[in-house]
Structure 1
Amino acid sequence: MYDYCVIGGGIVGVATAHRILERHPGASLLLVEKAGRLGLHQTGHNSGVIHSGIYYEPGSLKARLCVRGARLTKEFAAAHGIPFKECGKLLVATDAAEHARMLALYERSVANGVEVELLDAAELVRREPRVTGVGALFVASTGIIDYGKITRTLADDVRAAGGEIVLGAEIAAITETDSEVTISGPTGSWQASRLVVCAGLQADRMARLAGLDIDLRIVPFRGEYYQLPPERKDLVTTLIYPIPDPELPFLGVHLSPTIDGALTVGPNAVLGLAREGYRKGSVNLRDAREILGYRGFHRVAAANVRTGLREMRNSLFKRGYLAECRRYCPELTVADLLPREAGIRAQAVLRDGTLAHDFLLERTPRSVHVLNAPSPAATSALPIAEYITNRLDDFAQ
């Protein structure tokens, strides 16, 4: 029997295994991952941004853990020779309404302890001549990195500390008793004293396997990206973001330089009918049935009809997508939007139609389940891991 078991080989699961072994050297630990490699899903399909923590409700887990996570991510990368770059981020207001939201966001950034500059239209153009707006916020600490490399390096440390990692291990049953937790599937069965589940797109299903009475469902949202041609990769030098709608958990279509030298545009946010289907039009009958039959989704859809229709239109018609980008970068053309693989965000939706905005965890006497950990979970992974480890250690008190 293992002292600890972790289900899920994304960055949060691997970081948690890493933190457990740092705190409890010599403990026996097993990490199991359904896929054939680590970081396959959300970890490997994001824009690689080291977020600053500017957006999130002051005092929330996202606000607290993202600010700290940005610093810890950079420190870990520097210590392990993983390239990253603090290129900074401009959040651009394109009209009066967005400018008012921008000022409110500035106040939130102050509350969250994030250093931000307020720029007028002239200073915005001076810094980024190809970007237009009525004003902007500049966040110097925002960076870019490859989270897949972070995950693989963490995994190397886990193995070096004696942890075991098993790939291709789908879990079909979780049984908890007073003394242990047993997980099992087609490839094997394992017992542990403590269990952590970081299952991302399958988080709700794993929780129900464990017997948790949860009132939510994971709804996948496809984030479709484009990549600019190589000759356009120097169009901007910083990340360019719109001012987000505070009622939505998505940040909007943005221009993102990547650590490998590309320049991406995206993502949008379109309902997905397959939790792990990255091709446009992918449908998984089980996933679709669960989403479309869920009352909470019906309420989300009813409350966001206009937004949903706009996102679907932009997904179907490239010119609509382009219009979102041209609001702050007017020289972009349809020819600039080259294909790039989509990502899928695991978004927890409550039965009352509420989107879970914060990180969300639940526990049983011997396990911790991460039920909602979308962006900025990659940035926040190291302090999330510490938070989970603290919860595990509470069991022993």
Structure 2
Amino acid sequence: MSAGLFGSRRDDHDVELSLPLYNSNDNRSSGFLSASPLPTSRSSSPRPPEIRVPRPSTPNALGSGITSPIIIRRRWPWRFSWQSTTITILSLWVFYLVFLKAPNVPPSNLSTVVAEYDGGPPKNHLTHLVIVMGHAIWMGGNTLGDDEKEWTLLPYQHGLAKTFKQHVEAGVKIAKQNEDSLLVFTGGETRNFAGPSSEAQSYWSLAYLSKLIEPNTSLFNRSTTEEFARDSYENILFSICRFHEYTSNYPSRITIVGFEFKRERIENLHREAIRFPANKFEYLGIDNMGDNSQLETFKKGEKEGPEAQFRADPHGCSDPTLTAKKKGRNPFRTRHGYEVTSPELRGLLGWCRMAESVVDGKSQPYKGTLPWSA
């Protein structure tokens, strides 16, 4: 390998030679083949071995020849120092503690986990839960929900846009009339073609942009969203959980706004499944679609479909149509944490995963203790 500008080259044994340049009159007859290794240091810090190459005699300013050795250090590709060794050991120890020896959180300590995520003080003076059930996702627009092109509608939902907005308006009105209420818009990210936007958040946004809910008002601080529900049963149960997250209490009264043709399913089947007292439960149904033939079709479909299915399967655990519908309404694979934030409802929330929820092929009602039932 040829020498560089300053005579630096590397031989086949990875020895870097740094030699000065000489004029043509310099003595070049000695030095390169007489290299001899120097004794290695016995210090605690390892160093690469050194070899000494005699420099050819060169005349100095006084005309005398002076021979001085050239120190050449063999370079290793890497070397340890006490600093790097210490950092490596500490890094491995931290990895072990965090990832390999992380303790599991027992159920008795779930309240500690919840406390870690607490925000402002709970609104524990609120006792009345007002639920507005979501049925579609409003994507925004100048008509503020009046034009159905602003909504992500399924084929059978055409003509319902204004009814959805009426549900929002009715829920806001009830909440404004009851200062002890929390208004909860409920509905998850149910539409793949709408992106990761929830029914609940779109309803709240519609209410806000329509100036039904305004900043610096009581209702602004008494309205929130529940963004995981996939059907009407979860709309109710998950809204109760959201109420508990927001207030640290469970509601003493529940008012729900939805379709009138779903009254039997909501007011009786779902209420009975969660055993909430009938005298503290109210349902406001609004159809007002202006199309009687469509309404009759919905009524017939309700009787033969969801109403019959929930009557046989109160919690929606085993009916293949109900379970498939819930899976299809979760395209973005979201998952709630209500078992942690509402521990008193853990049994009810996890009932469908229990073997005793289905006996001889028949769904069984949950009979465990609930905060509002004896």
TM exceeds 0.5? no
Larger radius of gyration: 2
TM-score (norm 2): 0.22
| Larger relative strand fraction | 1
